[in-house]
Amino acid sequence: MTYDCAIVGGGPAGLNAALVLGRARRKVILLDNNQPRNAVTHESHGFITRDGVKPAEFRRIAYEEVLRYPSVEHQEVEVTRIEQDGNHFRIETASGQRIQARKLILSSGLKEVLPEIEGAREFYGTSLFNCPFCDGWELRDQPLVAVSEYKDLFHKAKLLLNWSRDLVLCTNGKGTITDEERQQLAKRNIPIIDKPIASFAGRDGQLEEVIFADGSRIARSGGFLSPAQVPNLALHEALGCEKNQLDGLVVDEMGRTSVPGVYAAGDAAYVMPAQLIFAAASGSRAGIGVHADMTEEDWHARPEEA
């Protein structure tokens, strides 16, 4: 059997694409390895009617809704290879299964790589987070730390002042803040610590201190990290999709990539900010794009059936 569309990745983007296509009566297979990026997160925020939902519960509800449509199939597998064969795509999974589809939506997202700091994984998702829009409210008015080895630290500091004025910036020994930015931060009494961080300390997932390599420490009850965002490039590169400067896929307003028949949604296309609602919206857009393009193709291929 040839599916109308194969969706690789079962996060909010892939799920919403499957929902749109299922409602359009398209034969869809949703392939997901069940390793969501937000698995460590206790609650997700910013999605109307689902504010504060646990990620596992969000997925449960989403799959329940999507699989009500008989033309949508779900398989929990890892996709290992995709190749284009004329107007179709051939997909291989880790179990050796081969799947054929007319269209392909890549929504396999990103992998987060936390900085090599002891305790980072212990507190990430409970008192250390990535996105201020997702978790800033829960940390409002607390003594916070913002840690980043990248150039986003200055911008994140400006954002975080809306939630707390008690803010310390840490570069973890990297020179990521310019002299001009330092001057602006000094005028607002925002301290910068350039020393490498040895560890985060606390108990039961609740941050209490940031300990530096020289033994000094500061008391903080929460904060924000900037993990490296590593895209799942193997499949993207095999298909020859054009990438942007962030290694995400270049897409148009309907999620189309530079390769005909291939669409991208969610973190695969670096939808920012990285919130559920943005990812879901991009999946809806890609699903509509697939259906619209297939409708045009079928209309011209079979004019006698119009």
* Helix, strand, coil distribution of the chain in percent, nearest 5: 30, 30, 40
What does the block give as tokens for 37?
């990026």
DSSP state string for 157-215 = HHHHTTT-S-EEEE-TT---S-HHHHHHHHHTT--EE-SPEEEEEEETTEEEEEEETTS
High-pLDDT (> 90) share of the chain, % = 75
Indicate the domain borders of the chain.
2-111+228-305, 115-225
* pTM for this prediction: 0.87
DSSP state string for 274-293 = --HHHHHHHHHHHHHHHHHH
pLDDT digit string (tens) for 174-195?
978 999 999 999 999 999 999 9
pLDDT digit string (tens) for 247-301?
788 999 999 999 999 999 998 887 666 688 889 999 999 999 999 999 999 999 8
CATH of domain 115-225: 3.50.50.60
pLDDT digit string (tens) for 259-269?
999 999 998 88
Band of pLDDT at residue 306, cut at 50, 70 and 90? very low
Tell me how far CA of residue 205 lies from CA of 40, 57, 121, 164, 273, in angstroms.
11, 21, 9, 20, 25
Closest alpha carbon to 95 in 44, 31, 50? 31
pLDDT for the residue numbered 236: 80
| Cα radius of gyration (the chain) | 22
- The CA angle 294-300-304, to the nearest 5 degrees, is 115
Which of the two residues, 238 and 213, has the higher pLDDT score? Answer: 213
Closest alpha carbon to 144 in 131, 158, 127? 127
Question: What SS3 string covers 212-245?
Answer: ECCCCEEECCEEEECCEEEECHHHHHHHCCCECC
Q: Which fold has domain 2-111+228-305?
A: FAD/NAD(P)-binding domain (3.50.50)
Beta strands in 33-127 (DSSP E): 72-76, 79-85, 88-93, 98-106, 110-113
Query: Across-strand partners of 181?
Result: none
Amino acid at 50: R
pLDDT for the residue numbered 12: 94
Q: Left (φ > 0), alpha (ψ -120 to 50) or beta: where does 104 sit?
A: beta
Count CB-CB contacts under 10 A for residue 42: 14
